[in-house]
Chains A and B, each alone.
Chain A
Amino acid sequence: MDRKKIEIPVMADLFARGKKPEFLFWVGCAGAFDDRYKKVVKAFTKILVHLDVSFAVLGKEESCTGDPARRAGNEMLYQMQALRNIEIFNAYEVKKIITICPHCYNIFRNEYPDLGGKYEVVSYVQLLNAKLEEGKLKLSSELFSGISVTYHDPCYLGRANNIFDEPRLILNSLTGNFVEMRRNRRFALCCGAGGAQMFKEAEKGDKEVFIERTEDALRTGAKIIATACPFCMTMLTDGIKYKNREEEIKNWDIAELIAQSLDL
């Protein structure tokens, strides 16, 4: 089997050559620095190349969107980051942004416009589902046949932005055996990482939120827990380990499941 190296297009290089990609692919901090989540970014990048989507990344020019700062109350830092990012987007004449992280998606789509940054923001699950509907992305349930899959709604795709159907449509195409958790969609339980909780110890309580949510997932009996957010992934993967179930139960991102099924 032949393999070809993927050269990731970087915005500054393309721009220097007078080219403009259709999408800015916003990798996000977890995609850049979290070893587990890097694999998700790689999988999604392969799918982008496979689908022949015109994109580029900012690379070293990418910086934090300001989301954790904003939700922790540091509006000053958020706006500094946002204004800086908007300046870069505008310099590269960015019109469309693809995000994988729901927090980045939410802040670009809903909050940057208040600071003058108005873009068409697309979550990767929306893009993938659109390609699926157009027939450009062909998925078969061969690889995962008979394996049950459940899906954990990230708060910032689901409740925050009403993206509930796309991930389910994709997962239904990948597996004939999709099961819902008890709390799902609008009523899905948070993984515990949002609002900058990811970066601090939880307040005193009698349980960790990620364990409560992992129990929801385990109760379905699914062998695969699909996620669509880097922080949810950290939390649920930890939860599975905490429950000593990592041998039999895997936590994959939707992009990874697609890349595996396409054998990219």
Chain B
Amino acid sequence: MIPNLIFILVFLFASVLFYFKVRTIAHDINLGKPVEIRDNRLMRWMHMLKVAIGQSKMISRPVAATMHIFVYVGFIIVNIEMLEILVDGVSGSHRFFSFLGGLYPVLISAFEVFGIAVVTGCIIFLSRRNIIRLKRFWSSEMTLWPRSDANIILITEILLMSAILTMNATDGILQARSNQHYPVVGSFLLSGFLQPLFSGLPDSTLIFIERFCWWFHITGVLAFLNYIPYSKHFHVFLSFPNVYYSKLEPQGKIAHMPSITKEIKVMLSGNIDYNAEGSAGEIGQFGSKDCRDFTWKVLMDSYTCTECGRCTSSCPANITGKKLSPRKVVMDMRDRLEYLGRNIRKHGKEFKDDKSLLDLVTSEELWACTTCNACAIECPVNIDPVAMIIEMRRYLVMEKAAAPAELNAIFSNIENNGAPWQFSNEDRLLWADNLEIKTN
């Protein structure tokens, strides 16, 4: 009775804790400006099926893609076993689903195969990060915490899977010894290979190990669940909605600013009535200086990022040694948003500090972007760093008049000559002089 009660309490506590943390993340994301994304539902679902569930954008890097499929599918499948663990934990039964008969050992064996796949994937990931030291895991924004975060996740997953395998191995030995608490449910495919490690141990030790692994696994899973929202690993949840809400239009399109159109129309009509509906008076700031100036979708992007760095490793500016790193922009956005969200919950909506996102993302970074969209196209979960960069450029140019001098020069050329260069519009057709074609 007591173990069941402890189990139920631990489970409820972990669930409630998780719920409240997720609520704070939802709160943070909703600090963004409203934008309605309700169009093309079917296409959005298809998109999510392909990109998020089907992992279609991972393929471009085959080793990472294969290992990630191991871990991703493995983790989902093995978590089906969580159902049985829940039933056993609440009711005190042992291997409740064994009523499935001959199917049961097949299922558990399949879970073991996926478990081994997860362990393999995690070991390869760990070695890519720590032994091979792939460049994208060691660039400047990958400070101690992001690097540790990744290692914590991978090691935890290995430990959780090892616990299941050890549990099954000892259970198998106890079954063979006809221990009364371990009815025969059939033999398992892979954990059998671990049995020699434990076969010399007395029943009581085996029971202890088996129970320890069971508890270690379930409390580990619940603890890990509560770690995820504090970690880059939150992508396991947000990838799906983030892809669903991502842009369906061609990647080259940047977001419209109706507020500017309004302002121009007011200017052109000469009707500057600041009190009138839709007049210039309501417009406020142009572009984005801080997290709350972006739409919730952009903020969701930042919480979805799992810091894989494909964006940065494909960025022409970053490849050639410039300071710009799209991953850093996204991480800065998230870190700043976490900070703002925490303080707003503490001090109320009016919370302000003397800093902004632009203290984290420097103008040197922003002006190095070629808007080539390599980062956005690479991102396996459709994060759009270019949209963030353009928004901040808009703020720098329209609110601060802080464009680089050369760009100010092209602005005035465009305004005066209708071209970024200083040529007269009168000369626009000079190319056509003396143009001839061969006649047959």
Q: Could you tell me the distance in whole angstroms from the C-beta of A37 to the nearest C-beta in chain B?
A: 9
Question: In the complex, how many residues of chain B place their beta carbon closer than 8 angstroms to a beta carbon of chain A?
Answer: 71
In the complex, residue of chain B having the shortest beta-carbon distance to the beta carbon of A114: B256
In the complex, residue of chain A having the shortest beta-carbon distance to the beta carbon of B368: A203
Cβ < 8 Å to B, chain A residues 186-226: 186-187, 189-190, 192-209, 211-213
Residues of B within 8 A of A205 (CB): 317, 320-323, 368
Given A74-B397, A159-B252: A187 and B374 within 8 A (CB)?
yes
Residues of A within 8 A of B420 (CB): 29, 64, 68, 198-199
Cβ < 8 Å to A, chain B residues 209-268: 249-254, 256-257, 260-261, 263-264
B21 at the interface (CB under 8 A from A): no
> How many Å lie between the Cα of A213 and that of B372 in the bound state?
13
> How many Å lie between the Cα of A149 and that of B397 in the bound state?
41
A77 contacts B403, C-beta separation under 8 Å: no
Q: Which one of B92-100, B148-156, B333-341, B404-412 is at the A interface?
A: B404-412
Question: In the complex, how many residues of chain A place their beta carbon closer than 8 angstroms to a beta carbon of chain B?
Answer: 81
> How many Å lie between the Cα of A41 and that of B392 in the bound state?
35
A74 contacts B316, C-beta separation under 8 Å: no
A22 at the interface (CB under 8 A from B): no
Cβ < 8 Å to A, chain B residues 289-330: 314, 316-317, 319-324
Residues of A within 8 A of B320 (CB): 192, 202, 205-209, 211-212
A6 at the interface (CB under 8 A from B): yes
Residues of B within 8 A of A95 (CB): none
A64 contacts B419, C-beta separation under 8 Å: yes
A160 at the interface (CB under 8 A from B): yes
Other than the given A46-B435, A187-B374, A195-B372, 14 more pairs (CB < 8 A) read A29-B421, A57-B432, A60-B428, A62-B428, A66-B414, A68-B410, A71-B371, A75-B287, A187-B60, A199-B409, A201-B406, A203-B323, A203-B324, A205-B323
The 3 closest A-B pairs by CB, nearest first: A160-B252, A73-B393, A63-B418
Which A residues lie at the B interface, using CB under 8 A?
A: 1-6, 8, 10, 27, 29, 31-34, 38, 41-42, 45-46, 49-50, 57, 59-60, 62-64, 66, 68-77, 79-81, 83, 106, 109-111, 114-115, 155-156, 159-162, 186-187, 189-190, 192-209, 211-213, 263-264
